[in-house]
């Protein structure tokens, strides 16, 4: 009989109970994690790990692309940026280009930080509207 891993249970619960905003934040953090692993793999000359991790980062960027609401004007600009990041990730993977990864890392970090701030502002507003503050 296999024992459940408490960390895996925690991870699964955190995803299933997260708000859409928190899920987006998790995607950004996951993308940054795989970019970091991809950079380390390039430095180590590990082509297989480079490919695996950069593809995981690409998959996250593609997921962010499909979740955009294209009826909102800002989504069109974000789609262009996500498409650019996806192409840079492909370049990084094909050429082993750390600079391309660092460029995407910088963009994702900016998006993540802005998104985190939006979540915090919304939480404060939610609590103040409910009289909890």
Confidence label for 15 from pLDDT (cuts 50, 70 and 90): low
Specify the higher pLDDT residue, 109 or 18: 109
- The pLDDT confidence band at residue 7, using thresholds 50, 70 and 90, is low
CA distance 3 to 33: 27
pLDDT digits (tens, 9 = 90+) for 42-97: 999 999 999 999 999 999 999 999 999 999 999 999 999 999 999 999 999 999 99
57 token code pair:
């980062």
Give the residue ranges of DSSP H helices in 1-133.
6-16, 20-44, 47-66, 73-95, 98-129
pLDDT for residue 1: 47
User: pLDDT-derived band of residue 20, with 50, 70 and 90 as boundaries?
Assistant: confident
How many C-beta neighbours within 10 Å does residue 18 have?
Answer: 13
């Amino acid at each position: 009989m296999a024992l459940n891993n408490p960390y895996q249970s925690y991870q699964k619960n955190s995803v299933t109970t997260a708000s859409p905003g928190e899920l987006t934040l998790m995607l950004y953090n996951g993308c940054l994690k795989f970019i970091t692993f991809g950079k380390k793999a390039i430095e180590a000359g590990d082509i297989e790990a480079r490919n695996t991790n950069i593809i995981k980062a690409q998959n996250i960027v593609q997921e962010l692309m499909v979740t955009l609401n294209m009826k909102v004007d800002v989504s069109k600009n974000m789609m262009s940026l996500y498409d650019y990041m996806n192409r840079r990730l492909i370049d990084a993977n094909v050429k082993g280009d750390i600079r391309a990864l660092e460029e995407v890392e910088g963009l994702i970090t900016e998006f993540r930080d802005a998104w985190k701030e939006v979540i915090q502002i919304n939480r404060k507003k939610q609590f103040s509207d409910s009289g909890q503050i």
